[in-house]
Amino acid sequence: MKIGKIPLSMLALFAVMVHFYFSIIEPCNAWGLDFPSYFPAWGIVVFYSLAALACFPFYNPRVQLFNVNLKTVILIAIGSFLYFYFVRYKYGLLGDNYLRVGQIIRGETWRNDFGTMIIMHQFYMVMHNLFNFDCVKSIHIFCALFGAGYSVYALLLSKEIGKYSIFIVLMVLPVATQFNGYIETYAVSIFLMIAFYYYSLLAMRARFSVFGLSVMLLIFAIIHLEILICFPAILFLIIRKIKNKTVATTLICVVGAALSIVFWPSFFHPLKELHDGRIPIFSADNFYAFLNGQVLSCGALVIGIVICLLNIFKLKFTSEIIMFSLVAGFQLLFFLCFDSILGAADWDLNSFSAIAITLAIIPCICQIGKYAVKIVVGLMLLNLGAWMILNSTDLSICRFVNIIKTDNAYYYRTHSRELITVLTFQSNGIK
């Protein structure tokens, strides 16, 4: 039975109360949702008051789907570039941060982001030689440029699927904040990922070849290896054309085994506890870190997933929903197995799955009704605002220190936490 407005609001309000409990009352190192706890008391009150109001969206905005033409694309690209460049992270405290700066300056390459490091090094050299920009400023411009490209593809995807809310959610996902001057290499891979999803959708509708899509994935993988987590889209498109399901199943197993060989064991958790201290896959610590990462990455999409599950027998699962659901499911399994040695600081890579989840879940929520969409979008906007306020100010320093002290990730258990803090502060000019 379809859920009414009041039950939907009550469900969302319950989720806000759970968020408040684990963020403020009993944090328990819940780094996936504790960032409002670093606000002053009045900030906490404002955040959760707005969150409670967002659960009752009794307004009716008259918003029409964007008329996508060249003018719209240019305006979106320029506007998003300005947003990503001027609203940015104040410090490089998460991810590999300033380690990347040195690598980019020296032109070093790694196997998993070989092409990306070459591109970023060349971009830095051009910006330095032409305008005498330092590496950090070059990274800020670089991220904003790819953020503009991401925004354009988000717009094209929303138009292709026919849901403008997809564009809004894709723009307010935490993963998109990696274009906000985030000191890492993932701006390129996130852009490539959303571009790949767009052409996958076109391939499904026979407007782009599956072979061309496969070649595209291989080229993208040279630029950044982790783009291979999108491969289920190609498998889905191929399997749709295979009448013999035994052949189709065999193909899935062969490709899955091949990718396991590529990634294992250097990227994944061990199956059992080893002497090196790495966390096993089937351990409470790993499941806890995985849940934190996905809650942080998806935000109110978690509520959307619950709403969809409660209405699952009323939903119409189109080919695009099935394809992106398979991609999202594979990526969630991948990140459950993936060894995030930096724990909370490695949230950036774990956030990749949120894009596929959005493309699978938002069309489902739209079937349930506009009221549910408004709840999810409103809470997502609030989540983005809180995340950026935290990371664009000195409040992020307190969160970083707390992560170093309490995170049970492999890197922090095998290195001096005090030394990590000192070196990170020095590289960021924090006294």
Angle of helix 353-368 versus helix 284-298 axis, rounded to 10: 60
First to last CA, the chain: 58
Token readout for 428 is: 């960021």
CA distance 356 to 323: 9
Instruction: Provide CB contacts within 8 A for 74, sequence distance 6+.
Output: none
pTM for the whole structure: 0.92
Say if residue 1's pLDDT is above 50.
no
**Whose CA is closest to 146, among 207, 89, 86, 189?**
189
Predicted confidence (pLDDT) per residue in 378-425, tens digit: 999 999 999 999 999 999 999 999 888 888 777 888 888 898 888 889
Predicted confidence (pLDDT) per residue in 324-358, tens digit: 998 999 899 888 888 777 788 888 888 999 999 99
Say if residue 108's pLDDT is above 50.
yes
Which amino acid is located at 235 in the chain? L
Predicted confidence (pLDDT) per residue in 295-310, tens digit: 989 988 999 999 998 8
Instruction: Provide CB contacts within 8 A for 250, sequence distance 6+.
Output: none
State the pLDDT at residue 58.
77
Which amino acid is located at 69 in the chain? N
Say if residue 180's pLDDT is above 90.
yes
Predicted confidence (pLDDT) per residue in 395-406, tens digit: 999 999 988 888
CA distance 103 to 203: 37
Which amino acid is located at 103 in the chain? Q
Dihedral pair phi/psi, residue 338, rounded to 5°: -65, 135
**Whose CA is closest to 180, among 216, 140, 150?**
140
Say if residue 63's pLDDT is above 70.
no
